[in-house]
Amino acid sequence: MKIARATPEDINALCDLAFAVDAITAGSIPPAEDGEDDEWEYIGAGNLLNILHDDTPASLQKESLDICRRCLLRLLEIAESAHIIRAAGNLEAVFLPSNRIIDLEADTLETHPSIDQGWADTARLDWLADPENTIGKVMLPGWCSGEYDSLRDAIDAIINSPTYLERKYGKTKSGRLFVIFEEIFNNKEKAVASKDAMRSLITGQPINKEQP
């Protein structure tokens, strides 16, 4: 399921909310309406909870009400400034195991091993596709190299095109390798069959058993 991407404002609001809750829990309260935004007032850790849980004397009720009002007002102002739930949903999606974005086995914030493997495979493909690389340069089938300028597009075309072996045996792409070996060992001329089977896999053309 697709979820909306959080905006920078959403992320900042979520961080601001976390900071405010931590500060209030540690015993600080937001400044009064005419105070500076960064001038939080420290009233002592646990005092706010005591105000909420204990019976406040009549002489302190006005002050206690002002403290609670300032805290609640700050939290509501932050919540109304952006879509916090959207930022929280994005964070949850990043850490969802099935999405394989974060390595949940690591003690620090690291990308999932599958992502690291993807970057490594990209570097390998770039090396193979480099025209200056005479060792690893890939020679594509004629029909493929003539239609596509990009090695990636050409490989995608090969992967997604139905092959003769699939049409003949009804095999899926995951079963190609087994079918190739089956074709080879069922043929008396194994060397010829091996060459033709691999050619058929790549080009999608029927196997020509009469070809020398």
Rounded to whole angstroms, the Cα distance separating 42 from 26 reads: 9
pLDDT tens per residue across span 96-122? 999 999 999 999 999 999 999 999 888
Q: Does pTM surpass 0.75?
A: no
Angle between helix axes 8-25 and 84-95 (nearest 10 degrees) is 90
pLDDT tens per residue across span 173-208? 455 544 444 544 454 444 444 455 555 555 555 555
Rounded to whole angstroms, the Cα distance separating 157 from 148 reads: 9
Q: What is the per-residue pLDDT for 141? A: 57
**Nearest CA-CA partner of 78 in 43, 6, 30, 150:** 30
Kindly report the backbone phi and psi dihedral angles of residue 78, in degrees, each rounded to the nearest multiple of 5, phi listed first. Answer: -65, -45
Q: What is the per-residue pLDDT for 186? A: 52
pLDDT at residue 33 greater than cutoff 50: yes
Other C-beta atoms lying within 10 Å of the C-beta of residue 165: 22
